[in-house]
Structure 1
Amino acid sequence: MRHRGAFAFRPWGRCAVAALLPLLLLACKPAAPITEAHPAMWLVEDADTRIFLLGSMHALPAGTRWDGGKVGAAIAAADELVLELAPDQLAAAGDVFRELAPRSAPLAMERRLDPAALAAYRKIEGAGSGFGGDALDDWAILVLMGQRVAQQADLSPENGVEARLTQRFSDAGKPIGGLETARAQLTLFETLDAATQRRLLTRALANSASGVADVKAMNAAWARGDVAALEKVVNEDVDAVPAARAAIITDRNRHWTKWVEQRMAKPGTVLIAVGAGHLVGADGVPAALEAAGYRVVRVQ
Structure 2
Amino acid sequence: MPCLLLGCSTAEPGPQARPAMWLVEDADTRIYVLGTMHALPRGTDWDEGKVAGAIREADELVVELSPAELAAAGDMFQKLAPRNAPLAMEARLSGAALTRYRALEASGDGFGGERFDDWAVMVLMGQRVARNAELSSADGVETRLTAEFEAAGKPIGGLETAEAQLMLFETLDAATQRALLTRAAEESGDAVKEVGILTAAWACGDVAALDRVINEDVDAVPAARKAIITDRNRRWSAWVKTRMGRPGTVLMAVGAGHLVGSDGVPAILEAEGMKVSRVQ
Pairing of 1:1-12 with structure 2 (within 5 A): none
* Match status 1:271 vs 2:251: yes
Q: Which of 60, 65, 76 pairs up with 1:96? A: 76
Q: Which of 157, 164, 173 pairs up with 1:193? A: 173
2:20 — aligned with what?
Answer: 40
Q: Deviations over 1:233-268 (max 9, x none)?
A: 223121100000000000000000000000000000
Instruction: Give 1:299's aligned amino acid.
Output: V
1:153 — aligned with what?
Answer: 133
The number of aligned residues is 269
Distance across 2 between alignment mates of 1:33 and 1:244: 29
Q: Secondary structure at the match of 2:274?
A: coil
1:178 — aligned with what?
Answer: 158
Q: In the TM superposition, what is the alpha-carbon distance from 1:116 to its structure 2 partner?
A: 2.4
Distance across 1 between alignment mates of 2:60 and 2:16: 25
2:145 — aligned with what?
Answer: 165
* Match status 1:258 vs 2:238: yes
- For the 8 Å contact 2:63–2:157, the answer to whether it is kept is yes
Q: Secondary structure at the match of 1:192?
A: coil
Q: Secondary structure at the match of 2:253?
A: strand
Q: In the TM superposition, what is the alpha-carbon distance from 1:36 to its structure 2 partner?
A: 2.3
2:115 — aligned with what?
Answer: 135
Distance across 1 between alignment mates of 2:98 and 2:35: 35
2:7 — aligned with what?
Answer: none
2:209 — aligned with what?
Answer: 229
Distance across 2 between alignment mates of 1:194 and 1:152: 28
- Rate the CA distance shift 1:46–1:190 in 2: closer, same or farther, 3 A: same
* Match status 1:212 vs 2:192: yes
Q: Secondary structure at the match of 1:186?
A: helix
- For the 8 Å contact 1:33–1:63, the answer to whether it is kept is no
2:96 — aligned with what?
Answer: 116
Distance across 1 between alignment mates of 2:96 and 2:187: 11
Q: Secondary structure at the match of 2:246?
A: coil
TM-score normalised per structure 1: 0.88
Q: Deviations over 1:17-46 (max 9, x none)?
A: xxxxxxxxxxxxxxx895320000000111
Report the identity percentage. Answer: 69
* Match status 1:69 vs 2:49: yes
Q: Which runs of 5+ in 2 are unaligned?
A: 1-11
- Rate the CA distance shift 1:143–1:33 in 2: closer, same or farther, 3 A: closer
1:19 — aligned with what?
Answer: none
Distance across 1 between alignment mates of 2:52 and 2:210: 22
2:4 — aligned with what?
Answer: none
- Rate the CA distance shift 1:34–1:231 in 2: closer, same or farther, 3 A: closer
Instruction: Give 1:273's aligned amino acid.
Output: A
Distance across 1 between alignment mates of 2:183 and 2:87: 19
- For the 8 Å contact 2:13–2:203, the answer to whether it is kept is no
Distance across 2 between alignment mates of 1:110 and 1:34: 41
Instruction: Return structure 1 stretches of 4+ with deviation > 4 angstroms.
Output: none
- For the 8 Å contact 2:100–2:186, the answer to whether it is kept is yes
Instruction: Give 2:169's aligned amino acid.
Output: F
Instruction: Give 1:106's aligned amino acid.
Output: P
Distance across 1 between alignment mates of 2:65 and 2:93: 33
Distance across 1 between alignment mates of 2:215 and 2:195: 15
Q: Secondary structure at the match of 2:205?
A: coil
Q: Secondary structure at the match of 1:155?
A: coil
TM-score normalised per structure 2: 0.94
Q: Secondary structure at the match of 1:272?
A: strand
Distance across 1 between alignment mates of 2:100 and 2:212: 25
- For the 8 Å contact 2:133–2:192, the answer to whether it is kept is yes
- For the 8 Å contact 2:101–2:186, the answer to whether it is kept is no
